Amino acid sequence: MTLNEIGSRARAVSRDLNSLGSREKNMGLEEAARGLLEGEDEILAANEEDCKRAEENSMSQGLLDRLKLTPARVQSMADGLLKVASLEDPVGEVISMKLRPNGLKIGQKRVPLGVIGMIYEARPNVTADAFGLCFKTGNAVILKGGSDAMESNKAIVRWIRRGLIRAGLPEDAVQLIEDTSRETTRELMRLNQYVDVLIPRGGAGLIRAVVENSTVPVIETGTGNCHIFVDESADFHMALDIIFNAKTQRIGVCNACESLVVHRRIASDFLPLLKKKLEEKQVEIRADEAARAIEPSFAAAEPEDWGREYLDYILSLKLVDSVDEAIQHINTYNTGHSEAIITSDYFNAQKFLDEVDAAAVYVNASTRFTDGEEFGFGAEIGISTQKLHARGPMGLKELTTTKYIIYGDGQIRS
């Protein structure tokens, strides 16, 4: 099937999905979940093919782990669909309705976006997750997964579509692009006629490529160079716990802490404690000169360190003279993801919340909480680091748009 045919089918089916009630959509999700469990053997066999090929191509252990499916992971994909079925459907809500002086009633109603394109790497669970969230919100989804996971994705999509058919629902609600050529990906990024929004999920390179080449509107999900600022009034114990959690609880994620900013006045007391705490996990600290004057065992930070997302047991460290300098440093080097201040000072907490430019700004908590589940959305399709449409974790609501509905009785404009 050509990309144009896929697009045209998605557009056509999106009109039907738009009219489905929550009950029908939930039935579709339940049958899709059942499909995944029924197809488990086929899905695992397909995944084994992918993994074998990946090993032959010397895929790294980390990536291989994300690619690998097990019975438990298939179960978890199915559970994910049931979970989405249990969430409240945002579609159809009328957010506001106003009566204008001329008698027009003008309302704003939440509606599906239409057709969503997902571009992602070799994580087959994204295939089921993305379908679930898009379907629940009445959107058709076109999936472009990594070629390394192609057989897995094909099997997953096949069984989801069987579930939809059994529920009497249009199977083209989810389509997988099987042509993995660069040209096809580029074409998808310019398929404005059929695709309403593209959501790239993956590494910085993938996301940059989509932002650079796409004429379809993109929701940028992103890298996180997340900071924690330890203010002079910080509770040291709290600061150490939060830093340890944000740096080491899971190193490969976008909301992990990558950089520390510490108030100079507490540095000589705090840095030795910090060093000791982070040694528990052999975290390498790359510090500025002032910090190294206190703790010579710290490595020397290069200028590039301030802007780096390590995704590793490494942390950069800078001393500052004030909350203002901390905010300025963070606003210069952050990626607009998650930033935290540890403080007991009311005014500094407010200032930090007001002035730091990021999707999520924390007082006295770990940056690791930036997540749809933790924020109470029940699920997420990604974390937006851009400012248009959605910022921060994106749940079901972020997969909708609005339209104005206007009730008149003959009004004309004068």
The torsion defined by the Cα of 372, 377, 379 and 381, in degrees rounded to 10, comes to -60
Contact yes or no for 255/337 (Cβ under 8 A): yes
Q: How far apart are the C-alpha atoms of 189 and 202, rounded to whole Å?
A: 16
Span of 237-245, 276-284, 293-301, 310-318 interacting with a copy of itself by CB under 8 A = 237-245
Candidates 27, 51, 359, 381: give the one binding a copy of itself (CB under 8 A). Answer: 359
Residue 368: CB minimum distance to a copy of itself, A: 4
For 36, the token pair is: 């995944």
Which of 238, 293, 299, 311 touches a copy of itself (CB under 8 A)? 238
Asked if 366 touches a copy of itself (CB under 8 A), the answer is yes
Q: Residue 72 or 412: which CB sits closer to a copy of itself? A: 412
Which residue is listed with tokens 């509606």?
A: 111
Nearest approach in angstroms of CB 54 to a copy of itself is 30
Determine, following the binding rule CB under 8 A, whether residue 354 of this chain makes contact with a copy of itself: yes
User: Segment near a copy of itself (CB under 8 A), from 35-43, 68-76, 242-250, 274-282?
Assistant: 242-250
Nearer CB in complex with a copy of itself: 313/407: 407
Per-residue mark of binding to a copy of itself, 326-345 (x: CB under 8 A): -----x--------------
Helix (H, G, I), strand (E, B) or coil at 285: strand
Contact residue for a copy of itself among 17, 118, 315, 358 (CB under 8 A): 358
198: DSSP letter: E
Calpha distance 401→89 (Å, rounded): 13
The residue within the footprint of a copy of itself, chosen from 62, 168, 217, 252 (CB under 8 A), is 217
**392 touching a copy of itself, by CB under 8 A:** yes
CA angle 122, 140, 16 (to 5 degrees): 160
Nearer to a copy of itself, 147 or 401 (CB): 401
Does 236 bind a copy of itself (CB under 8 A)? Our answer is: no
Helix/strand/coil for 52: helix
Other beta carbons within 10 Å of 181: 10
**72 contacts a copy of itself (rule: CB under 8 A):** no
For residue 218, list its beta bridge partners. Answer: 198
Q: Determine the 3-state secondary structure of 47 from DSSP.
A: helix
| 23 near a copy of itself, rule: CB under 8 A | no
Please report how close the Cβ of residue 109 comes to a copy of itself at its closest, in angstroms.
8
Cβ of residue 340: shortest distance to a copy of itself, in angstroms? 8
- Taking the least distance from each CB to a copy of itself, the nearer of 238 and 299 is 238
Coil, helix or strand at residue 9: helix
d(CA 160, CA 128): 8
Using CB under 8 A as the binding criterion, the count of chain residues that bind a copy of itself stands at 67
Cβ–Cβ < 8 Å for 124, 69: yes
SS3 category, 61? helix
89 vs 144: CA distance, rounded Å: 26
Q: How far apart are CA 96 and CA 294, in angstroms?
A: 58
Site for a copy of itself, rule CB under 8 A: 15, 18-19, 98, 100, 104, 106, 113-114, 192, 196-197, 211-212, 215, 217-220, 235, 238, 241-242, 244-246, 249, 331, 353-355, 357-366, 368-370, 374-376, 386-389, 391-392, 401-414
